[in-house]
Amino acid sequence: MPCFEKVTILIHTKNRPGFLLRLLSYYYEKLGQQGIKVLVLDCSNEENFLEITEGLGRQSELSHIQVLHHPLSSSFPERMTEALRLISTPYVLLAADDDLYFFDWLKPAVDLLDTDSSFGVVYGHTLRFELEEYRPYGRLIKFDFSRPNPPARWLEGDTPEARLAELGRSDWTTMGWYALQRTELFSIIVNAARQSDLDGFEFELLLVFCQAALSKTRMLDDIYLARQINQDEKRPLYSYKKERKSLEVLKATAVAILSKYNDTDESVAAIMVEGVFAAELCQLKENDARRHLRKIADCFPGLRDLKYWLYGALMRERLVADPLDPDARFPPTPEVGLGHPKIKDIIQAVTRKQDVVNPV
């Protein structure tokens, strides 16, 4: 079976038909008829869903793309459960509607999973790019090479204990979304999340935990993904206090997975789970602490310096590595310029003739 025929791309999207149609056109241009399967998981309202279906109908080369239209109330595990029933390929690749994969890395990634069953997940390095406005097409104004997430590089230990200990060195919330992974592994994760009613933030954590607990991860030295930046986007600042009950369910689910699939004693599994989640929980508690300190400083401007001192003291008390510290095991971040072939790919995919390309 050729390389691309072993992969299904799962694109999740909501109310962004322009981004989705740009992405599908880009995939067709790069892959043509090479056999890769694409499945769209859509939570759009009826108006945007109609725009998607009409857009696919206008492009005959995209007419075979299957779109699953889910209600907004459906959880991510519910949507993925339906999608998995339709997947027959051994590997899946999750995708957001505004990001672009480069496919030259896919062959070595598939070759690795084909030849070494101990590996279940493959990543690469990423580029970030920004247009003048957060739209599907426009003038490219900025791009850079993303600093890699250290844990993704060092999850090749031979035992779950070694891999989870490395993962627990820093917080790692969203690391597992964009990776080529075994369909069987992803199915285990989705099924566990659905049974435990985990969605959103907790599902992200479970995804990465299970990837490390149940398989090795390889980070190839290739640029595999370009992520479009929306400077106006306000990312959620999760709270330990608000998420506490769901986090307890998450940890119980993680213990059950270690016990079932790695034959780990429950008491030992519980200790491992506490260790691997320590950095993430510490980050959530820091989020809450910052909120409280900000409120105090707003009420009493003279205490502003105290706020920074207290936050510094909190950071000094962390029992894990600061994720913002550079990891000496990484080589220097390479420079990228307009002549880089991946930048040329981005420019071709997101700009039109009327757009003047003048990135900084």
Structural domains of the chain, with CATH = 1-97 (3.90.550.10), 240-316 (no CATH)
Collapsing DSSP to helix, strand or coil, 186 comes out as: helix
Q: Provide the residue-wise pLDDT of the chain in tens; the chain has 360 residues.
A: 578 899 999 999 999 999 999 999 998 888 776 668 999 999 999 999 999 999 998 888 887 889 999 998 899 999 999 999 999 999 999 999 999 999 999 999 999 999 999 999 999 888 999 999 999 999 999 998 887 666 777 899 999 999 998 888 876 766 788 899 999 999 999 999 999 999 988 999 999 999 999 999 998 988 899 999 998 877 777 888 888 999 999 999 999 999 999 888 999 999 999 999 988 888 888 888 777 666 666 666 655 555 555 555 555 445 444 544 556 666 666 678 888 899 999 999 998 744 544 554
pTM given for the model: 0.87
Separation CA 167–CA 154 (nearest Å): 8
Residue 212: name the closest of 151, 154, 155, 278 by CA: 155
Separation CA 80–CA 90 (nearest Å): 15
Separation CA 262–CA 110 (nearest Å): 25
Question: Please, how many CA atoms are within 13 Å of residue 287, restricted to the half-sphere of its CB?
Answer: 16
Q: Detail the DSSP E strand segments found in the chain.
A: 7-13, 37-42, 66-69, 91-96, 99-101, 119-131, 140-145, 180-182, 216-228
How many other CB atoms sit within 10 Å of the CB of residue 197? Answer: 13
